[in-house]
Amino acid sequence: MPRLTNDNAQLVPRTSFDGPELRFDFPGLEIGVAEYDEGPTGCTVFHFPGGPAACSIDIRGGSPAVSGAGIELVEAVCFAGGSLYGLEAAAGVAAELLARREYRTGWLQIPLVAGAIIFDWGPRDNAVYPDKELGRAALRSAAAGSFPLGRRGAGRSATAGKLFAYDESEPAGQGGAFRRIGATGVAVFTVVNAIGAIVDRDGNVVLGHFDAGSSTRRALVPTVEERLAAGRPVRPPPGNTTLTLLVTDLGLDARELRTLGRQVHASMARAIQPFHALEDGDVLFAVSTGAVEGDPLLDTTALGVVASELAWDAVLSVAS
């Protein structure tokens, strides 16, 4: 029997889900999720219907795959499974926006869509990936105020905690957190498919590095040191990435947004250990809708501290 692929399967996007979700109030942001159960794989689309939002992209780790890198405005960001092929889902989002504009192709009417992918073929033996139609379906389903948590969307087949062996990984997925400080809203959404394990604020591994023999999760540093002392190399498997969207309505200039993104992305090394490794392709999109012109309570450093804690909360929500 031939291997299942997008070319030989009758794939039907699924856009309605039960299960845990984050509820939040952030005007100017819509989120859509679509999946192919045949993978299983999926995509998650963040749409800014009020018009282009300022964007800075922070790319770390040794194995990223991103479309739209370098653009400073976005109307949508698409996260997807399917490795490099999953970037087609972002093209589907752009195609749907083009259709909504009655196929006008003026210079200022071209949809500004960025995308990034995870390698999610580890747990599944087929060649199904998020394609153009799935990206279009996700955008069509986009709505305000809710974000599915866990094994949904781009995180449908994500795993975490693979440093010592792939079979020590555990299912991961997507997580999110939101907070409003005075007039300013800030949210973090992440898809964790990391080589590292998820770590709580007490330093405990809560997802990944799972030793089935002892039913315990391995601590990072002691296990690395033990292996090296015994002459056993640590050879991590390839195909890992964490994708993150940090969005605020506080108006920020390009330098402020770039610095905020770096600050928050670096902070996530507390929640995912190790992070930004050669085998990872970590990407963070820092986005500002600019709806709040100024906030006397917050400079970008203080906002970065708050957003960094939200990023940790978002990662932990994957494991909850």
- In angstroms, the CA 178 to CA 174 distance is 14
3-state secondary structure (DSSP) of residue 256: helix
- In angstroms, the CA 35 to CA 155 distance is 10
What's the gap between Cα 316 and its chain centre? 14
Element (H, E) at 311: helix 300-319
Burial call 52-68: b when 16+ CB within 10 Å, e when fewer: bbbbbbbbbbebbbbbb
Q: Which of 159, 184, 241, 242 is catalytic?
A: 241
Half-sphere exposure of 90 (CA within 13 A, CB side): 26
**Peptide bond between residue 40 and the one before it cis (omega within 30 degrees of 0):** yes
Locate tokens 């866990």: which residue? 150
C-alpha torsion 270→273→279→283, nearest 10: -20
State in Å, rounded, how far the first CA of the chain is from the last one: 38
Percent helix, strand and coil across the chain, each to the nearest 5: 25, 30, 40
The pair phi, psi for residue 15, each rounded to 5°, is -130, 5
Tell me the one-letter amino acid at 239: G
Nearest to 146 by CA among 113, 174, 123, 166: 174
3-state secondary structure (DSSP) of residue 253: coil
241 is an active site residue: yes
Give the CA angle between residues 162, 165, 166 to the nearest 5°.
60
- In angstroms, the CA 148 to CA 125 distance is 25
Report the catalytic residues: 241
